[in-house]
A and B are shown apart, each in its own frame.
Chain A
Amino acid sequence: MNIVEKLAGLIRDTSSSLPPDVEAAIRKSFRGEARGSSASVVLGTILDNVRLARKLGSPLCQDTGTLAFYVDAALRRKVSPVVVKKAVALATARGYLRKNCIDSVTGKSYDDNCADGAPVIHYVDWQKPGCVTLVMKGGGSENMSRQYSLPDASLAAGRDLAGVRKCILDAVRKAQGFGCAPGILGVCIGGDRATAYEVAKEQLLRPLGAAGASKDATLRRLEKEILKDANSLGIGPMGLGGKTTLLGVRIAARPRVPASFFVTVAYMCWACRRGEVCVLAV
Chain B
Amino acid sequence: MKELRYPFDERQVRALKAGDSVSISGIVHTGRDKFHKFFADGGKIPVDFHDGALYHCGPVCVKRKDGWAVVSAGPTTSVRENPYEPAFIKSSGVRIIIGKGGMDDATLAAMKKCGCVYVQAVGGAGALYAASVKKVAGVDLLDKFGAAEACWHFEVEGFRGVVAMDARGNSLFDKVASAADARLKEIL
Contact = CB atoms under 8 A, between A and B. Distances in A.
Interface of A: 16, 36, 38, 41-42, 45-46, 48-49, 52-53, 56, 58-64, 95, 98-100, 109, 138-140, 143, 165-166, 169, 173, 176-178, 180, 229, 232-241, 269-271
A241 B131 contact: no
B127 A56 contact: yes
A176 B120 contact: no
Contact of B72 (A41, A46, A58, A235): A58
A42 B161 CA distance: 8
A61 B124 contact: yes
A36 B162 CA distance: 11
A193 B150 CA distance: 37
B180 A63 contact: no
Given A41-B21, A61-B74, A62-B60, A49 B181 contact: no
B160 A45 contact: yes
Interface size class of B (residues with CB under 8 A): 35 or more
B188 A53 contact: no
B31 interface: no
B122 A42 contact: yes
Contacts of A99: 146-148
A176 B101 CA distance: 7
A173 to B, nearest CB: 6
Contacts of A234: 176, 179-180, 183
Kindly list the 3 A-B residue pairs having the minimum CB-CB distance in the complex, ordered from nearest.
A62-B72, A53-B127, A180-B123
Contacts of B71: 58-59, 62, 95
Contacts of B181: 173
B59 A62 contact: yes
A165 B187 CA distance: 11
Contacts of B179: 233-234, 241
B131 A177 contact: no
B151 interface: no
B141 interface: no
Given A59-B126, A234-B179, A177 B58 contact: no
Nearest to B79: A178
